[in-house]
Structure 1
Amino acid sequence: MLSGHESIRLETKRVSGKMVGKALETVCAFANTTGGWLVLGVEDPSKARGPQRLYGVEENQEAVDELIRKLGTHLLPAVDGTQIFRVPCTLRDGSQGSLVALHVPASDKVHSILDDGTWTRGQASNREMSASEITELSYRRGVRSAESEPVDVDFDLLVTDTWRLYLRGRGLAPTGIADQLYRIGLAKKVGGELRPLRAAVLLFADHPGALLAAGGTRADVRVFHYRGNMIANEEVPNLRKPPKTLSGPLYHLISQTHAHVLDELAGGLTLAASGFRTIHRYPERVIKEALTNAVIHRDYRLNREIEVRIFDNRIEVLSPGLFPGRITPATVHRAGSFARNPLIATNLREFPEPPNVDAGEGVRMMFSLMRAGNLYPPQYRELREQAQEAIIVTLLNEERPPVWEQVSDWIDRNGPIANGDLCRIANLDTLKASKQLRRWVEQGLLVADPNRGKRNMVYSKPTGDATNGRPDLLS
């Protein structure tokens, strides 16, 4: 810490009366970004070096007390999970004193300071957020959802067979649809007039994608079936057939997409290179859960369709938007349920044979069934660098070697793995271990450290996420 510079996840401050306001801005910014450490009693690195930076909190303990008190009264809402550590040390003048280190987790909410705005963290400083940035962050974290926004769609377009099926499922008599949607929270008043929410259009309209397209959003599913294991960047796409666009109310869209994907997989594939046929072995429930999650939990404000990509060796399901709340690719299998679109999720359960009966257990089921089938676990990634952000889940159609479970557990406990580690774990020679590591990289199960040379390369899981864990600052 003393030899480093302030960063997106680290800030140091000497304590003074003026420190309190700036420190609150840093806590707010950390919570609204990726979390971080605020260390009090340490001079700015531009003003001192090494141990000469250690002034201690004894300079102004009253200011530290005021900051700790205001963490609970001036941050709206309060940042849950903030930890405070007192660290004894030898100060710059040789006396004994202490620092105070605050660890601020990345939050699943959007935080502001009482009478002092909403802040985000840059590479080494804080910046007040604009109104549009606050709105964007609210959507990304699931604090706000496009499903709850009123849309300019005529109620008569929602009086469909799907609406009538829904009414029967709830035991309701068909009366005026506008009033009924209002009473169940799927319509709201705008300027004194009722308007259906986007969730109602998605649930009941025969063609919700077409109705919502005028507002710059999409709601359909596109299925692509490719030859081989890659998308060829050629003049003629390596598609086995033209892409299929599926649309309809979400209850039917999920079942239609599931049936279509299963039809595509049913006959197996003839591999051009060998003439052999390969059979897709994904458990049917896993495929349906991946598709159901994509439809229910996608971000419906984004102008992008759900994409299903079928390759010879895998299926990819791409869902617009990022993980809401504190869920990450590394924790999705144990994080439980966080519905970005609770209106959609709740009302789908009112249909006969609802697609989302696993309420919070679906992803765990996917991992369990893939493991029982001796297949690799589902691989989750966030695509943050695209024009429209998305989550992609990959299901590999390949038997998992017994050693993978040992390697996966080893990485979870020890961090990145090297060739020599795999040799010891699996009793392999160097060449076979190297080939296996390269194979796992090709499959997307591991990523090579770009900062290492070939001779001392280490590998980690792409789903590893250090930003939400507590960095080892105090060791």
Structure 2
Amino acid sequence: MPIETIAIDDAQAAKILTLREGHFSDMKAKAVRPAKLTKALSAFANADGGELYVGIDEDDGRFSWNGFTDEEAANGHLQVFEQIFPLGDGFRYEFLSNDPSSGLVLHVLILRSGSIRKASDGNVYVRRGAASQLLTTDAQLHQLERDKGITTFEAETVNTAAETITNSVTTIEFMLGLFPLSDPERWMQMQRVIVSGKPTVAGLLLYSDLPQADLPKRSSVKLYRYKTAEAEGRRETLGGQPLTIEGPLYHQIRDSVHLTTELVESISKLDAAGLASISYPQEALHEIITNALIHRDYGIADDVHIRVFDNRIEVESPGRLPGHVSPDNILDERFARNGNIVRLINKFPDAPNKDVGEGLNTAFNAMKKLQLKDPVITELDHSVLVNIRHEKLASPEQMIVEYLQSNPEITNRIVRGLTGIGSENKVKRIFQSLMKRGQIERVPEKKGNLTAYRLVSRE
């Protein structure tokens, strides 16, 4: 398939030339050997994706346009690049032209890959800042495999007796509710949580009465209360000692949600009516905490941290997002790092992940219903941070007007999606209020289920 050539104007070309090499972008001269450039392709694909511009010269920190004379002049680069992406997946090419700039710049968009991509030299690189970092140790490669979801620490066996999970109180209670009834050891062998006579990490987390005894420093939850709204909690703003929440995963999720809710409800905030308790939707806390515990990377020796501030809750879980999942697509994509944990905890009564795959969507919808802003998901170097803010959305009226400032019309259904309001009649009353103020009007030709509204023309 031919590669598209896109003509860009001077402003767009100048914007490219003002880019700086960083975590998501790299600029290279066409004279650089294609094999050397594959290090950047490998690094971007193995990290968060990025963009490579080939045909940009650099002189003392200043970039200038010096592209290929024509499309065929870039064939050597394309042939080498396609060795990195042999199935034609995970990248996109286009040529950029700008008169009177010289030649065509090859723009390569690299997406975050669900597999490990090697450079032409056979080595694996990861983008860190403006550098393509070579991974040299087995530990680094194993960590990248876990980040990609290729391998999972949950399947590792632990050198402890199988009776730790076959004869625990947790297992006895669980097996009584299991249908059909089965011998615990035989059932656990079939479920691959006992392998070669040893329990796996998943088995201990699910069925041991105290997994933390065999998995220290990587299976607890730490709950903090910071009496501040500042960006970071400090020792002097820490209210009391942090709580450590332990136990099997099923109980740990329940206890973490309960204790976090109790801590939040102890916070009062001054509003027009006086002191009022702060509250977050229970289902939002439940789903976000559940997500943090069942999808974390248990290969990282750290706990899940829940920090309660005056104006927000932070939930930080060890490990980057697995596979191709990113903060931008996390509500639409599905990828379970710990597939066995996700599957088996769903067999418990009133499973914490009863709506498998819908957890974060449920959390976001619950926040909207209380007119609170969406949680913010940030991927850090070795963890994922979810920020649940106690900040109100704009009023429905304001959201309608702002929407109409960039769209020709709006409907009842669109407003309900924007605001989280479930009632059609409530939205109708908001429309009526805005019409009385002379801010909006009905679109004349649309009636019934197609009824729409637009801004009143000020001409």
2:152 aligned residue (145, 151, 159): 145
Partners of 1:270 and 1:276 within 8 A in 2:
no
What's the CA shift for 1:348?
A: 0.6
Q: What does residue 204 of structure 1 align with? A: 207
> What's 2:289 paired with?
291
Offset at residue 152 of structure 1 (A): 1.2
Displacement, 1:43? 6.3
The answer to whether the Cα contact below 8 Å between 1:14 and 1:57 also exists between their aligned partners in 2 is: no
Deviations 1:241-269 (A, max 9, x none): 54332211111111122233334445x44
Q: What secondary structure does 2:294 align onto?
A: helix
CA distance in 2, matches of 1:43, 1:228: 48
Range 79-88 or range 399-408, more displaced:
399-408
Give me the whole-angstrom Cα distance separating, in 2, the residues matched to 1:374 and 1:28. Answer: 43
Tell whether the 8 Å contact from 1:150 to 1:195 is kept in structure 2 after alignment: yes
Distance 1:408 1:366 in 2: 26
Alpha carbons 1:327, 1:335 under 8 Å: kept: no
TM-superposed deviation, 1:101: 2.7
2:163 to 146, 156, 161: 156
1:150-199 Cα offsets, whole Å, 9 max, x none, are 2112111112232234434542544362x53332122334xxxx322111
What does the per-residue CA deviation read over 1:43-74, in whole Å, with 9 as the maximum and x for residues that have no partner?
6435999777234356745524533653444x
| Equivalent of 2:193 in 186, 192, 199 | 186
Query: CA contact under 8 A between 2:304 and 2:318: conserved in structure 1?
Result: yes
Which residue type is aligned with residue 343 of structure 1?
Answer: N
Whether 1:323 aligns to 2:321 is yes
The 1:284–1:276 alpha-carbon spacing in structure 2 relative to 1, beyond 3 Å, is: same
Change (3 A) 1:270 1:91: closer
Q: State the match for 2:223 in structure 1.
A: 223
- CA deviation string 1:102-158 (max 9, x = no partner): 221232332124762212346666453213322222233333322122211211111
Report the counterpart of residue 378 of structure 2 in structure 1.
Answer: 381
Q: Which residue in the other structure is 2:351 paired with?
A: 354
Q: Does 1:111 align with 2:110?
A: no
TM-score by length of 1: 0.69
1:133 to 127, 133, 140: 140
Matched residue SS, 1:134: helix
Structure 1 position 102 matched with structure 2 position 113: no
CA 1:211–1:107 in 2, change beyond 3 Å: closer, same or farther?
Answer: same
> Is contact 2:41–2:119 with CA below 8 Å preserved after alignment?
no
* 1:81-109: CA deviation from partner (whole Å, max 9, x where unpaired): 311113456698x7xx6443322123233
TM-score (norm 2): 0.71
Q: 1:329 to 1:350 in 2, by over 3 A?
A: same
| Residues 19, 63 of structure 1: 8 Å contact kept | no
Q: Is the 8 A contact 1:37 1:102 kept in 2?
A: yes
Percent identity, please: 24
User: How far apart are 1:12 and its partner, in Å?
Assistant: 2.7
Q: What is the CA RMSD across the aligned residues, in angstroms?
A: 3.8
1:370 equivalent to 2:379? Answer: no
- Which of these residues, 27, 30, 33, is aligned with residue 14 of structure 1? 30
Contact 1:221-1:307 within 8 A present in 2 as well: yes
Match of 1:391 among 384, 392, 399: 384
Question: SS at 1:150's partner residue?
Answer: coil
Amino acid at match of 1:82: F
| Alpha-carbon offset, residue 361 of structure 1 | 1.5
Q: Return closer, same or farther for 1:43/1:227 CA change in 2, 3 Å cut-off.
A: closer
Give structure 1 stretches of 5+ with no counterpart. Answer: 414-475
For 1:45, what is the secondary structure of its paired residue? strand
* Count of aligned pairs: 386
Query: What amino acid sits opposite 1:224 in the alignment?
Result: Y
Q: CA deviation at 1:206?
A: 0.5
Alignment partner of 2:315: what SS? strand
**Residues 252 and 64 (structure 1), Cα distance of their counterparts in 2 relative to 1, 3 Å cut:** same
Amino acid corresponding to residue 243 of structure 2 in structure 1 = K
Matches within 5 A, 1:408-419: none
| Structure 2 residue aligned with 1:344 | 341
Structure 1 pair 381/393, CA: closer, same or farther in 2 (3 Å)?
Answer: same
- Residue 343 of structure 1 deviates from its aligned partner by 1.4
Say whether the 8 Å CA contact 1:164–1:174 is kept in structure 2. Answer: no
1:328-379 deviations in Å (ceiling 9; x for gaps): 44443x3333222211111111112111012221211111121111122223
For 1:273 and 1:90, the matched residues in 2 are separated by 59
Alignment counterpart, residue 175 of structure 2, candidates 151, 167, 177: 167
Kindly tell me: are residues 242 and 104 of structure 1, through their superposed partners in 2, closer, same or farther at Cα, counting changes over 3 Å?
closer
Find out whether 1:83 has 2:92 as its counterpart: yes
Aligned partners of 2:74 and 2:311: how far apart in 1?
Answer: 61
1:335 to 326, 332, 335: 332
Query: Which 4+ runs in 1 deviate beyond 6 A?
Result: 47-52, 271-275, 407-410
Which residue does 2:427 correspond to in 1? none
* Residue deviations 1:182-231 (CA, integer Å, cap 9, x gap): 32122334xxxx32211111001111012212xxx321122234445457
Query: Cα deviations across residues 419-455 of structure 1 (Å, max 9, x unaligned)?
Result: xxxxxxxxxxxxxxxxxxxxxxxxxxxxxxxxxxxxx
